[in-house]
Amino acid sequence: MAKDQFDYGPEEGELVVAVVREVKQNGAYVDLEEYEGTEGFIFIGEIASGWVKNIRSYARPGQRLICKVIRTRSDNKSLELSLKSVSEERKRDRLAEWKNEERAKQLLKVLSEQVNWSQADLNENQTELTEAFGTLYGAFEEAATKPESLTELGFEGDWIQPFIDIAVKNIIPDTVEIRGHFTINVEDGDGIEIIREALIAAESVSDKETELEVSCHYDGAPSYRIELKAPDFKTAEEGWNRATEACIEFVKSSGGSAKAQRE
């Protein structure tokens, strides 16, 4: 469920998505996207580090900003915010998270029209999915990668399969990555060469036709990192199985021991 449907506001230290409503000489007034009816103020000293000659260089009406809550009031309807306290990396990550959640809301709305939910049904299911998976986008993401997750958590109804279909069509990323580690031990005097060839055997599973890429890296004996990239989960899973089997079998045939573990 959207945060604005809950009866509380953001906490101090939380990163919020805000839209600039009005710019004054001493700061900017903003409205919070995820908390309906909640406004914030960014004092000029919290706009940027150093001297700010023109606030409009940093905040313009209608602009969307990622801010940090530095002080709340008892009514949770007006907040003091900081723009300068949020790094560019955290701004990008938080904005991407917000965009994903907005996208998920739109997908759920499409589903509600397909299965003829009322507004109450839509609100209730959005709430339950968000509570079960942490975010609504997380529910779609989990359904796309592990369809049985919905029923495992007790969800039921004729909307389940359409939900999964929408998730698979809209959420699965263009590139799937799997990471893990080999633990390899070889007592033989040629142990280094055996391990090198075993990792090459894992990498040889790479396939240009299926766009599967496998790479292995030294992390410090006896640990070796394996990374796979593929266009879909099925190819990635099959690649993981073949790559790890190739490495482990080579090591064992050479008198050593090896195991693989996913991150």
Is the pTM higher than 0.85? The answer reads no
Lowest mean pLDDT among 57-66, 79-88, 140-149, 183-192: 183-192
Residue type, 119: Q
pLDDT bracket for residue 245 (50, 70, 90): very high
Determine whether 251 is exposed, middle or buried from the number of CB atoms within 10 Å of its CB (0-12, 13-18, 19+): buried
Whether 14 has a pLDDT exceeding 50, the answer reads yes
Instruction: Identify the pLDDT of residue 174.
Output: 66
pLDDT bracket for residue 149 (50, 70, 90): very high
Instruction: Identify the pLDDT of residue 44.
Output: 94
- Look up residue 242 and give its two tokens: 């073949």
Instruction: Identify the pLDDT of residue 263.
Output: 79
Is 86 within 8 Å of 68 (Cβ atoms)?
yes
DSSP letters of 136-199? HHHHHHHHHH-TTHHHHTT--STTHHHHHHHHHHHTS-SSEEEEEEEEEE--STTHHHHHHHHH
* pLDDT above 90 as % of the chain: 69
Whether 1 has a pLDDT exceeding 70, the answer reads no
pLDDT tens, residue by residue, 183-220? 999 887 788 899 999 999 999 999 988 899 999 998 88
pLDDT tens, residue by residue, 117-127? 999 999 999 99
pLDDT tens, residue by residue, 95-123? 999 999 999 999 999 999 999 999 999 99
Instruction: Identify the pLDDT of residue 113.
Output: 96
Instruction: Identify the pLDDT of residue 8.
Output: 63
* Whole-number Å distance between alpha carbons of 33 and 19: 7
Reference 179, options 247, 215, 228; nearest CA is: 228
- The angle that helices 88-114 and 119-133 make with each other, rounded to 10 degrees, is 140
Instruction: Identify the pLDDT of residue 133.
Output: 94
Domains of the chain: 14-86 (2.40.50.140), 89-170 (1.10.150.190), 176-262 (3.30.70.1130)
Whether 2 has a pLDDT exceeding 50, the answer reads no
pLDDT tens, residue by residue, 127-137? 999 999 999 99
Whether 240 has a pLDDT exceeding 90, the answer reads yes
